[in-house]
Amino acid sequence: MPVELTPSQALGLWHTVSRAQVRLDGRDLTLRQLAILLEIYLVPPPHTVRGLAAKLGVTKPVITRALDTMGEQGLVSRVRDERDRRNVVIRRTVEGALYLEKLGDLIIGQGRALAS
């Protein structure tokens, strides 16, 4: 089911969620990092560095760096693919799922609070 938004609602939603995210989230993820994280959790696995780079239109080191940072924070983990040891499979974590769950709640709450 589509979600119909007016221009004011669309930007208002982005505004309140972005502001809340800046105020409350100590992780301070980049837009790129967040896009990568959402890709990993919302698209069926397996995910690889190369695949994510292609999907987002960025270079491979961008993905490696983002996985380094988010891995240190426990949001994702990496495992070597044993069937083709050149590949690295990116795996989800409980902490990452919880993080996105909270982001989802934030979006839903702000969407519900939208006026006009």
Instruction: Give the binding site for DNA (CB under 7 A).
Output: 28, 30, 32-33, 48-51, 58-69, 78, 83-88
State the sign of the Cα–Cα–Cα–Cα dihedral 58, 61, 62, 63.
positive
Which partner in DNA, its own copies, none is near 115 (CB below 5 to 8 A by kind)?
Answer: its own copies
Q: Which of residues 55-114 bind its own copies (CB under 8 A)?
A: 55-58, 100-101, 103-105, 107-108, 111-114
Alpha-carbon 115 to chain mean position:
27
Closest to 106 (Cα-Cα) out of 23, 6, 1, 35: 23
Which partner in DNA, its own copies, none is near 23 (CB below 5 to 8 A by kind)?
Answer: its own copies
